[in-house]
Amino acid sequence: MIQKLSTFLSDAWSWWWQSNNSHDELARVVLTGLLIVLAVLWYYYWIPSLFKSKNETPPLPPGPLSLPLLGNLPFLDPDLHTYFASLARSYGSILTLWLGRKVAIVVSSPAMARQVLKDQDATFANRDVTVAAKAAMCGGSDVVWTQYGPEWRMLRKVCVRGMLSNAILDSVYALRRREIRQAIVYFYSRVGSPVNFGEQMFLTSLNVITSMLWGGTVKGEERASLGAEFKQVAAEITCLMGKPNLSDFYPGLARFDLQGIEKQMNGLVVRFDRMFDIMIDQRLKMDGQGGTKDFLQFLLQLKDEGDAKTPLTMTHLKALLMDMVLGGTDTVSITVEFATAEMMNKPQVMQKVQQELDSVVGKNNIVEESHIRKLPYLYAVMKETMRLHPALPLLVPHCPIQTCVVGGYTIPKGARVFVNVWAIHRDPLIWENPLEFDPERFLNGKCDYSGNEFNYLPFGAGRRVCAGTEMAERMFLFSLASILHSFDWKLPQGEKLDLSEKFGIVLKKKIPLVAIPTPRLSDPSLYE
């Protein structure tokens, strides 16, 4: 067959070349076009068909048409979580997008999430590290972005041992209590006046985290000034990490940093690095002087002890501090803000929470963490808030270490894999009335977030499941219980409640919650 086609093309070309009759000019043009078409068909369809294997590789998942070079970039909506959810309704629970030269796979169902996060967990345990994350996290040397392997296992173990275990969290209860009581005192000082609720919760979370990190190192006015600077820098870093970056979509352009994201991030990291150096120097000067032990002291001791196989370096140390500051502040404070806003929108839910608190704690007492386990309805409110407003709506992108098959489709090595937790949590095939805020769906212990139930994944699943789940749970429940037990909340006159979201690597409330507190405890001294 190939020989016949070759002879035909040779004869046709010879006729075209030798023809010099002007009447043949049109024929030459037509034949040239036909030869080009035949050549294209031969190259793209005929030749591959001759070499097709019986074990043909499955195709990529379906997806919208893409443009040459640009892919689907021109069509992306800034709110990626809702955009991906709308595409899933057209193309299915696993789909392909081309982000420039980067292949992106979006997973939007429990079945597909299970295959990625459990059945093939080892294959997908790596991260697709963005340029911004690499710059922010000392080249990706932290527990969130480090590639799966001995180094990552060492970093996770350090985090759990030094800060996130139940024993450590129990030992620093006094820190959490002190900071949350300070928030209550602040709200009491603003009774009858509007307060920026989310901002105060951020500062409370930040103070708890920094107290655990270096509370025994930095004190007084210096601690307060460092806290204010951390708030500003952390907010800017989170914003940059959520921005689409051409350097990620076209790696060949990364050296030019066309949007200036890497340059901006490096500038912010220098500020963080300077603050870390201050605290590290002070802690080193305190050696042998006793005082309260904190996470920084624990890290410095581990670094000095050393490990021949996977040593903890100063780069690791600073990256872990960065992880704790960024990961332990925004996520908790934003979830508490969403929970309060949802309950203000449904006063009957807030009333049930407060009735439960009054029954367990009483109006002549203050909330302690020992009360929390007796508050099942509050626990259900937390679960429902994380269902509707998961802090990381697309989790942190996963990246397969080899080409594999998921759902009957090929997922190429190095692809950026998004698990759209936001879409799974709002799927009407899974949840009844999915857009309604209804904590009662979680009563009687229904659905945990350990990563074993793939229709509910606020903390992810598999090897890379969030290490700070226990800390987030304690902070959320204690903060929300204390605030709702101490105050009623209402909007300023003429204001309307807005529950819309602003997409980023962390999902935020588009319009910050501004509300007016009213005391509800019987004794004013309880606010001191």
pLDDT at 456 over 80: yes
pLDDT at 53 over 60: no
How far apart are the C-alpha atoms of 526 and 182, rounded to whole Å? 12
Asked if 81 and 106 touch (Cβ cutoff 8 Å), the reply is no
Whether this prediction's pTM lies above 0.95 is answered by no
- Give the confidence band of 12 by pLDDT, cuts at 50, 70, 90: very low
User: What does the pLDDT look like over 324-366, one tens digit per residue?
Assistant: 888 888 899 999 999 999 999 999 999 999 999 999 999 999 9
**21-25, 105-109, 228-232: least confident range:** 21-25
- Give the confidence band of 289 by pLDDT, cuts at 50, 70, 90: low
- Give the confidence band of 86 by pLDDT, cuts at 50, 70, 90: very high
How far apart are the C-alpha atoms of 294 and 91, rounded to whole Å? 50
pLDDT at 19 over 50: no
How far apart are the C-alpha atoms of 248 and 198, rounded to whole Å? 32
- Give the confidence band of 13 by pLDDT, cuts at 50, 70, 90: very low
User: Which position has the higher pLDDT, 179 or 419?
Assistant: 419
**59-63, 90-94, 321-325: least confident range:** 321-325
pLDDT score, position 290: 55
Q: Which sequence spans correspond to the domains of the chain?
A: 2-50, 133-527
pLDDT score, position 5: 44
**Residue 423 C-beta-side C-alpha neighbours within 13 Å:** 26
pLDDT at 368 over 90: yes
pLDDT score, position 344: 97
User: Which position has the higher pLDDT, 494 or 52?
Assistant: 494
State mean pLDDT over 504-522. Answer: 93
What is the CATH code of the structural domain delimited by 133-527? 1.10.630.10
b/e sequence 277-300, b meaning 16+ C-beta within 10 Å: eebbeebeeeeeeeeeebbbbbbb
How far apart are the C-alpha atoms of 104 and 92, rounded to whole Å? 15
Look over the chain and give the mean of its residue pLDDT values, rounded to a whole number: 87
pLDDT at 291 over 70: no
Q: Averaging pLDDT over each range in 138-147, 274-283, 286-295, 509-518, which range is the top one?
A: 509-518
Helix (H, G, I), strand (E, B) or coil at 334: helix
Q: Which residue has the tokens 């429990």?
A: 110
